[in-house]
Amino acid sequence: MREVIDREAARALERRHRDIVIGFYKQFPESARETLKHIQELVPYPLSATKAALARKLHERYQQDYPTPKAADKAITIAWALSRERALMINGTPMTLMTLRRQKMYSGNLRPILKQLRPDRSSHEIETVEKRILSKIFDTFE
């Protein structure tokens, strides 16, 4: 009986964290949410890229959304501006969906957010949850 309760409690906690993060993504306009998702897929922390390199990657991989590198550059600028304005507070630390290191290196920040929410999870488990969340950010809540 105790195992069933523990398993259900773990599932409830996982759902709660997933819903918090998905709800956080949904605070952003759809176009910025899409760019934030794409950045997370291409350069999840600790990976990072300069704006020019990231714009090229976005254009190459998601050409239907960013028809030119300039369009991708503009989308990055907008996503970064919106991301800086909103942070998820975790243990008193503000965490944004996108980071800028050394004033030139952009990175998606979902993995560190998930790691803060679930420090007991392995890197592999965090990546699995990350993929699940990214696949759901445009779905409606059930």
CA-wise closest residue to 132 among 17, 46, 47: 17
Coil, helix or strand at residue 105: strand
- pLDDT per position in the chain (142 positions), as tens? 888 888 898 889 889 999 999 999 999 999 999 999 999 999 999 999 999 999 999 999 999 999 999 999 999 999 999 999 999 999 999 999 999 998 899 999 999 999 999 999 999 999 999 999 999 888 754 4
Q: In this structure, is residue 36 part of a structural domain?
A: yes
Looking at residue 139, its pLDDT comes to: 76
Coil, helix or strand at residue 11: helix
13 token code pair: 């906690």
Q: In this structure, is residue 141 part of a structural domain?
A: no
Query: Which residue matches tokens 């993929």?
Result: 131
Q: In this structure, is residue 37 part of a structural domain?
A: yes
Q: In this structure, is residue 20 part of a structural domain?
A: yes
CB 58 within 8 A of CB 70: no
Coil, helix or strand at residue 44: strand
Looking at residue 142, its pLDDT comes to: 41
Q: In this structure, is residue 132 part of a structural domain?
A: yes
Q: How many domains does the chain have?
A: 1
- Segments of the chain assigned E as strands: 88-90, 93-95, 98-101, 105-108
Q: In this structure, is residue 88 part of a structural domain?
A: yes
The pairing of strands 88-90 and 93-95 is antiparallel
Domain of residue 42: give its range: 2-136
Q: In this structure, is residue 142 part of a structural domain?
A: no
Q: In this structure, is residue 12 part of a structural domain?
A: yes
Burial class (CB in 10 A: 0-12, 13-18, 19+), 95: middle
